[in-house]
Amino acid sequence: MDMNSRLENISAEQMAPVCRIVIPKSCCLVIFGASGDLTRRKLIPAIYRLFRQRLLPRGFFVLGVARSEMDSDRFRALMSEGLREAFPEECDETCWRDFSSRLHYRAINYHDAASYRTALGEVLPTLEKAADSGGNRIFYLATPPGVYGDIIGTLHQSGLASQANSHVKLVVEKPFGHDLASSRELNATLLDAFRESQVYRIDHYLAKETVQNILMFRFANSLFEPLWNRRYIDHVQITAAETIGIERRAGYYEQAGVLRDMFQNHMFQLLSLTALEPPSLFSADRVRDEKAKVLHSIRPFPLERLEECVVTGQYAGSAAAGIKGYQDESGVAVDSGVPTYAALKVWIDNWRWNGVPFYLRSGKRLKRRTTEIAIHFRPVPHMMFSQTMGGRIEANTLILRVQPDEGIHLEIQAKNPGSRMCLMPVSLDFLYPREVSLSAYERVLLDCMEGDQMLFVREDGVDLSWSLLTPLIQALEDRAASGVLFPYEAGSDGPAAAAALLERDGRCWRPL
Ligand code: BG6
């Protein structure tokens, strides 16, 4: 072997990613709500893509169940249309034919045990035998949340919640409850029928590549963790800005608003991953223990002085952009007081984060679509350049960009090249190549098949975040009734009052 090829070999080895590869066990996926939008637009396209990448087990099939009467051929045709709309470039006829032979459908009455006995109790074993799926079952609730309780209860009564010698899992979509009381009720129903280890509560943000990377980045490098505390960090900003409005979901959104829709789940999950202590092991329960500790440490919001910690807003129309205001959207009350934007100041009362505010903001119809976590470090303690350069030196910022263009950016100061002594901000960038990442739904489906609960929310996680937010939402809803909600123009940065929330602390939001 000559020197060059030896060096190539060494560097190829060093570059190889350190991976954990698990082949999921054979199983079937039973989708409740199979005639709905979520199944057509997200679930089946995600499963098809996994199939195409040969990531599904050999003995795998889908049984869709819903109220609509149709046969399996009609179901396949509907799913094929959904796939063409979602990924027009990925429809390979041969692959689809092979895949769609694994799709089956039965009509079901969600409230009637007899209907479960026919659609599931009788049909499933036959399909399982043909597919050789080993009796392992995943029930996926993609229905409106109003029927979750009935489905879970009937699965339980019909003896379908467990199987000797095979696994049975239940996947629950958001929203998980409407407030603390309803989420507790749902958790009680769930845990009456299933064990926590069988339950997979989805938060699709946890499956995004950069979100998963937060733990790797923090705990697989020795560089950042020593700085990850109140000594070096001034504050943290977490942003989830969307350009879209409520689309065709007025019925749901009028009941939810941005705090239930984005904060109770996604924003609090991003916050807890950013702030948690190092878990002793990279395992689902150890990580979820640490996330729960963060939520436990969040200081309750001062309900008597809401203006200190929260700003809410609602988008108004933009004539220039031809965009309707929230109250003009079809299905929205003309005098709706539902917030489509919120900014929160959160304090974590523990040793690591004492005195470091976390500012969270999320809204619809904003200027740009961007989700990121920005860690703002403290400025240098002594300005040795003040005589030569004057001006303020921008403190370092580390940006974990969740979307679009997933990656990590470290903004530092460097000398501007040339004869003059001046500093310029430069960015050290790491960008994920697009083609390597699995979509959020592909990731969660695969993890559920593998039995890895890391990316799913545990009972205490849901409970804690509702405990924090329910009193705040209640106080805001009372306040909205008396007419305090800041309007903002569609396509803008959000309400001016949100900027003031930071300005009062001598800080400002990162531009969208
Ligand atoms: C969902 C919310 O959970 O997340 C939607 O219900 C929101 O209102 C969506 O638009 C945002 O997800 P993503 O992946 O597009 O950032």
- 57 close to 24: Cβ distance less than 8 angstroms: yes
C-beta 329 within 6 A of ligand 1: no
Pocket mutation for ligand 1, best pick of 42, 242, 246, 263 (most atoms within 8 Å of C-beta):
242
- What pLDDT score does 390 carry? 67
Q: Which atom of ligand 1 lies closest to the CA of 253?
A: 8
C-beta 242 within 6 A of ligand 1: yes
Q: Residue 248 Cα, ligand 1 centroid: separation in angstroms?
A: 13
Task: Supply the residue whose CA is at minimum distance from atom 5 of ligand 1.
Answer: 261
What DSSP letter does each residue of 68-87 carry, written as one string? S---HHHHHHHHHHHHHHH-
Cα distances (Å, whole numbers) of residue 376 to 258, 272, 509: 25, 17, 11
- 172 close to 190: Cβ distance less than 8 angstroms: yes
- 228 close to 218: Cβ distance less than 8 angstroms: yes
Distance separating the N- and C-terminal Cα atoms of the chain: 54
Q: Residue 450 Cα, ligand 1 centroid: separation in angstroms?
A: 25
**In angstroms, rounded to a whole number, what is the distance separating the alpha carbons of residues 379 and 202?**
39
Q: Residue 244 Cα, ligand 1 centroid: separation in angstroms?
A: 10
C-beta 261 within 6 A of ligand 1: yes
Distance of CA 423 to the CA centre of its chain: 38
Burial class (CB in 10 A: 0-12, 13-18, 19+), 71: exposed
Active site residues: 266
Q: Which atom of ligand 1 lies closest to the CA of 403?
A: 16
Pocket mutation for ligand 1, best pick of 204, 246, 255, 371 (most atoms within 8 Å of C-beta):
204
Task: Supply the residue whose CA is at minimum distance from atom 13 of ligand 1.
Answer: 205
- How crowded is residue 339: how many other Cβ atoms within 10 Å of its Cβ? 28
Task: Supply the residue whose CA is at minimum distance from atom 8 of ligand 1.
Answer: 261
Q: Residue 14 Cα, ligand 1 centroid: separation in angstroms?
A: 38
Q: How many CA atoms lie within 13 A of 440 on its CB side?
A: 17
Q: Residue 242 Cα, ligand 1 centroid: separation in angstroms?
A: 8
Q: Residue 98 Cα, ligand 1 centroid: separation in angstroms?
A: 32
Q: Residue 270 Cα, ligand 1 centroid: separation in angstroms?
A: 14
Q: Residue 10 Cα, ligand 1 centroid: separation in angstroms?
A: 43
Q: Which atom of ligand 1 lies closest to the CA of 252?
A: 6
- All domains in the chain, ordered by first residue: 16-202 (3.40.50.720), 206-503 (3.30.360.10)
- What pLDDT score does 72 carry? 96
Q: Which atom of ligand 1 lies closest to the CA of 246?
A: 8
Task: Supply the residue whose CA is at minimum distance from atom 15 of ligand 1.
Answer: 242
Query: Which residue bears the tokens 């041969």?
Result: 94
- Strand arrangement, sheet containing 341-346: 423-431, 407-415, 397-403, 370-377, 233-241, 358-363, 341-346, 310-316, 486-489
**In angstroms, rounded to a whole number, what is the distance separating the alpha carbons of residues 443 and 208?**
8
Strands (E), 330-422: 341-346, 358-363, 370-377, 397-403, 407-415
Name the token pair of 97: 């034919």
Task: Supply the residue whose CA is at minimum distance from atom 6 of ligand 1.
Answer: 261
- What pLDDT score does 233 carry? 98
- What pLDDT score does 481 carry? 65
- What pLDDT score does 17 carry? 61
Q: Which atom of ligand 1 lies closest to the CA of 208?
A: 14
Pocket mutation for ligand 1, best pick of 244, 266, 402 (most atoms within 8 Å of C-beta):
266
Per-residue pLDDT of the chain (512 residues; tens, 9 = 90+): 333 333 344 444 555 566 555 678 899 999 999 999 899 999 999 999 999 988 999 999 999 999 999 999 999 999 999 999 888 887 888 999 999 999 999 999 998 889 998 889 889 999 999 999 999 999 999 998 889 999 999 999 988 888 888 899 999 998 899 999 999 999 999 999 999 999 999 999 998 888 888 999 999 999 999 999 999 999 999 999 999 999 888 999 999 999 999 999 999 999 999 999 999 999 999 999 999 999 999 999 999 999 999 999 999 998 888 899 999 999 999 999 999 999 999 999 999 999 999 999 999 999 999 999 999 999 988 878 777 666 678 899 999 999 898 899 999 988 888 877 778 889 999 998 766 568 889 999 999 999 999 999 999 999 999 999 999 999 999 887 666 789 999 999 999 999 999 999 999 999 99
The amino acid at residue 15 is M
**In angstroms, rounded to a whole number, what is the distance separating the alpha carbons of residues 262 and 338?**
13
Q: Which atom of ligand 1 lies closest to the CA of 244?
A: 10
- What pLDDT score does 482 carry? 65
